[in-house]
A and B are shown apart, each in its own frame.
Chain A
């Protein structure tokens, strides 16, 4: 871990000003990922701007019937908030499927979106990694890639984005509210927040230096009755997803009128299963229809040497998550 300067921001303007003054500075919130990466010499900021005293922790209903979740609130508080549990159980389940109780108590909602891949070649500075060291090559491509992407990867990078929370947010059509270094606010659709690796795997998101996530907003929906977050992993707790599925739908009579499916553990960003969604609109929620939709989605997968199982597992997981959603979360 390199020596760094620690500064404490009193409020949002001072945090933005401090960041604008140093291109090598990073905001420090929960620190559950950033500090690990600094100890590993992967992240090398020379200044940490502590933003844990800025407020921005509130969870409240928005004027349009949705919900606003403070960027600096803790994951645990978001998962357990009555408004979240009642109207967005999918988000609550996804947060609780991630990390461990201790980590969720520290980690913030904004920080969750900015965590970095757990690709072991990224974490190990002795290994090549285009994300960590652009141009050094991808250690995982010809290496051990069981945990890696099956959608949207590039020759430069096959890493997956590790968050569970973000998978639910992708399914729930969330938006991210950001204030930039000059104090200007903007709203980014969740689908445009994270990037696919392409030629610049070092860039995980479309944020610029000094951008601060102030809140995450989820619009009003009627998905709460039929939603489920399924996470398949190598142990029951504290393991990243092999595949995860956030599934939610709304019924009109016997037919599905609206459906949202997003996947984790399969791509460089939360993967919206648009093909599967399209196939289910106006259909009955039967196992046969779920399977057709899941298989259609997974037909586009491009697995690697060690993760071919993710295609079958992804398909089964979509079906299972939809079934669970149909039964209101009960098996």
Chain B
């Protein structure tokens, strides 16, 4: 075999790519089911109060309508069952604008949508808590997040040669995966099949089962392909169980898909944050204090706090540090994990402040960061399993041409544009989580093939491909002999594609399964070998037709002794139109140290995806709430501006060579989250370098630069 053990680390194209570009990959509601009915959700138009009356007579009489389901006739569900955000028609209470308050089921989608428009709802309205600008100062300590304090920041700030004390604000962002949340529910007797995109297949199974008062083994989640999720399909939302309820009531399979406009207040969001960062430094640029005070909002009925202070705990060496969290319950949908949770927003504040302080000291911002590089994890004293911030900064500076940057703003003028360079770092924790996998080997003649099965998720980022690569190398088989089956709760339980644990957890268990089956074949042969034979060789020599085994993998115990994180350095060149204030990111470079890179092609795409969203955070994306009504004024893609192609300039990704065997057996650290972290600060710092204007509230829209 020519390509022995070289699949991992090669830029293998997605093995599911052809299926996707030819439309043969079935996403949630694409799955063929017999005689489906269609459900359309309708939503509250107040932010707080009670439903006094729902008049659904006209809707029920409308052609094709099979059922109108509201809190009056919905079955009792377990509201503590793991479905996020409530909104499952369990009471007349309205807690936020756009809460699901009913479902119309009809023969066709168009009939259901029309009938939903005919429902008339009367409310007893209460005063809603919506205005975060006014409310955030009265935030309380969250239930699950402690403030963290080291040393005495007060004294250090008082005695500082240089300091920065500024507040940074980020708006509400939405996940908006290309595939909106959608579910097919099909009952087969006591058993329920849910075709539904899930970043955590087993999590979705448990959430649905517990909420519907079923046993997990009676619920099957089918989610082979996911059209993006970014955290919004990590937990599951009302649509999942409402489809099941509707299917039960009309005794048919039901398809329920959210419209894009409904996505804004149905499936969580990244909340608005105020972050005050205070930094103190000596004359020669050594940090003496780092204070990061964060304020955010959660829902009335439940709490979720984005951990914006987390990167400040580990990024820089300082003897004195204080991180605080405050949260305000508001009448908005429950926030949730959103790409780079806490880190993408937290790094905007921290890395902007670092840039501000470097400028005050008149120090190059890269040099300033190098000067404050921590030898150990400052938050717990553990050694790093690996940390390549220095390499990211140095190699990035070289590749980007950082030496051309001017220290002072407005010095680089090209025609009608100010040109600026910015840098910012980012980080995200690296973990492995428990996962299981079954491997099946089959032989016909000398042709040996393998099937890998686990309830993993592919968000579109390449799980199928990296697992085939991993198995091909571990078994010493060509990659086209490997079939990967994932996205089904009938398969062995696996971690989930969240928090950058997917690739690490899945690849390690697949590798373990391959090793285990080879060991079992060796044992079964009863022979001793000088050189370890491959599984395929043993299948042939021992004339075995088929064999299977299961591996259950856990993180290495020794990994606990280390602090494991991915790190990056981001470089942006922006051009700002002097007349109009419009900003273009001409060039962007992300240099990442994220352990072993399994596939440089999918890795590069994943980093670019994070970078593009980070550029969107910096320049275009913002959801605006009208504090009188609690609704999003930005309610479609015409108003909520994700970057367009033209907003994105030249992109480049560099990976620092790393193979972090202290973190896990395969040396992987995960890429999904870190790609967005530090990006918006790099752009904002470049805008300052271009214009001399420090924008501390994202996004940097043209009017802020006039």
Cβ contacts B579-590/A at 8 Å (1 or 0 each) = 111101000000
Contact B631 A124 (CB under 8 A): yes
Sorted from nearest, which 9 A-B pairs have the closest CB atoms? Answer: A309-B703, A236-B646, A126-B45, A320-B579, A237-B644, A237-B646, A232-B580, A144-B633, A235-B620
Interface string of A27-55 (1 = CB under 8 A from B): 00000000000011100000000000000
Are A238 and B644 in contact, with the CB atoms below 8 A?
Answer: yes
Report the bound CA distance from A127 to B636 in whole Å.
15
Question: Smallest CB-CB separation from A321: which chain B residue?
Answer: B579
Of the stretches B75-83, B109-117, B519-527, B672-680, the one at the interface is B109-117
Indicate whether A144 sits within 8 Å of B579 (C-beta atoms), given known contacts A235-B644, A237-B644. no
Identify the closest chain B residue to A309 (Cβ): B703
Inter-subunit contact A313/B702 (CB<8 Å): yes
Which of A230, A236, A313, A331 meets B703, CB within 8 Å?
Answer: A313
Q: In angstroms, how far is the closest chain A Cβ from the Cβ of B617? A: 13
Contact between chains at B117 and A123 (CB < 8 Å): no
Contacts of B624 in A (CB 8 A): 144
Which residues of A are found within 8 Å of B699, using beta-carbon distances? 234
Q: In this assembly, does B147 line the interface, its C-beta being within 8 Å of a C-beta of chain A?
A: no
Q: How far is B702's CA from A3's CA once the two chains are assembled, in angstroms? A: 42
CA distance A235 to B638 in the complex (A): 11
Number of interface residues of B (CB under 8 A): 38
Q: Are B415 and A331 in contact (CB under 8 A)?
A: yes
Q: How many A-B Cβ pairs are below 8 Å?
A: 90
A residues near B628, Cβ cutoff 8 Å: 142-143
Contact call A331/B580, Cβ cutoff below 8 A: no
- Interface residue A252 (Cβ < 8 Å from any Cβ of B): no
Within 8 A of A (CB), among B642-701: 643-647, 699, 701
Residues of B close to A237: CB separation below 8 A: 644-647
Contacting pair A1 B45 (CB below 8 A): no
Q: Is B534 an interface residue (CB 8 A)?
A: no
- B442 interface hit (Cβ, 8 Å): no
Are B620 and A317 within 8 A (Cβ)?
Answer: no
Q: Which residues of B lie under 8 Å from residue A235 when comparing CB positions?
A: 619-620, 641, 643-644, 646-647
State A324–B226 Cα separation when bound (angstroms).
Answer: 47
Which of A121, A126, A127, A236 interacts with B644 by CB under 8 Å?
A: A236
Establish whether residues A316 and B706, one from each chain, have CB atoms under 8 Å apart when the complex forms.
yes
| Chain B residues closer than 8 Å to A143, beta-carbon distance | 626, 628-629, 633
| A313, B580: Cα distance in complex, Å | 7
B3 within 8 A of A: no
A212 at the interface (CB under 8 A from B): no
**Contacts beyond the supplied A235-B620, A316-B580: 12 A-B pairs with Cβ under 8 Å:** A39-B113, A40-B261, A118-B639, A120-B634, A143-B626, A143-B633, A144-B624, A234-B620, A234-B641, A235-B641, A242-B703, A319-B579
In the complex, A5 has a CB within 8 A of chain B:
no
Does the CB pair A2–B643 fall under 8 Å?
A: no
- A118 to B110, alpha carbons, bound, how many Å? 24
Chain A interface size band reads 35 or more
> A234's contact among B261, B636, B701, B706, by CB below 8 Å, is which?
B701
Cα(A312)–Cα(B702), bound, Å: 12
Query: Which residues, 613 to 636 on B, are CB-close (under 8 Å) to A?
Result: 619-620, 624, 626, 628-629, 631, 633-636
For the complex, give the distance between the alpha carbons of A233 and B114 in Å. 35
CA of A319 to CA of B63 in the docked complex: distance in angstroms?
58
Q: Which A residues are in CB contact (< 8 Å) with B261?
A: 40
- Determine the chain A residues whose CB is within 8 A of the CB of B631 once the complex forms: 124, 126-127
Q: Check if A127 sits within 8 Å of B584, measured CB to CB.
A: no
Which of B581, B626, B646 has the most C-beta atoms of chain A within 10 angstroms of its own C-beta? B626
Which single residue of chain A is at the shortest CB-CB distance from B46? A126
Given A41-B117, A313-B703, A313-B706, are A239 and B641 neighbors across the interface (CB < 8 Å)? yes
- Chain A proximity of B333: nearest CB distance (Å): 16
Q: A240 contacts the other chain (Cβ, under 8 Å)?
A: yes
User: CA of A139 to CA of B45 in the docked complex: distance in angstroms?
Assistant: 14
| B444 to A: closest C-beta gap in Å | 49
Q: Could you list 12 examples of A-B contacts with CB < 8 Å?
A: A1-B114, A39-B113, A120-B633, A120-B634, A230-B580, A232-B581, A233-B582, A234-B699, A235-B641, A235-B644, A320-B416, A320-B580
Q: Give chain A residues whose Cβ lies under 8 Å from the Cβ of B110.
A: 1
Contact B582 A144 (CB under 8 A): no
Query: How many Å lie between the Cα of A39 and that of B646 in the bound state?
Result: 29
- Whether the pair B579, A312 counts as a contact (CB closer than 8 A) is no
* Assembled-state Cα–Cα distance A124/B636 (Å): 10
Q: Chain B residues near A3 (CB, 8 Å)? A: 63, 114
Q: Which residues of B contact A123 (CB under 8 A)?
A: 635-636
Min distance, Cβ B700 to any Cβ of chain A, angstroms: 10
- One digit per residue, 1 when the CB lies within 8 angstroms of any chain B CB and 0 when it does not, for chain A 50-89 equals 0000000000000000000000000000000000000000
Which chain B positions have C-beta within 8 A of A319? Answer: 579
B560–chain A nearest beta-carbon distance, Å: 45
Contact A234 B580 (CB under 8 A): no
* Residues 237-264 (chain B) with a chain A CB within 8 angstroms: 261
Least distance between B61 CB and chain A CB atoms (Å): 13
B320 to chain A, nearest CB (A): 40
Against A, the Cβ 8 Å flags (1 = close, 0 = not) of B144-174 are 0000000000000000000000000000000
Which of A235, A313, A316, A319 has the most chain B CB atoms closer than 10 A to its own CB?
A: A235
Separation in Å of the A286 CB from the closest CB of chain B?
16
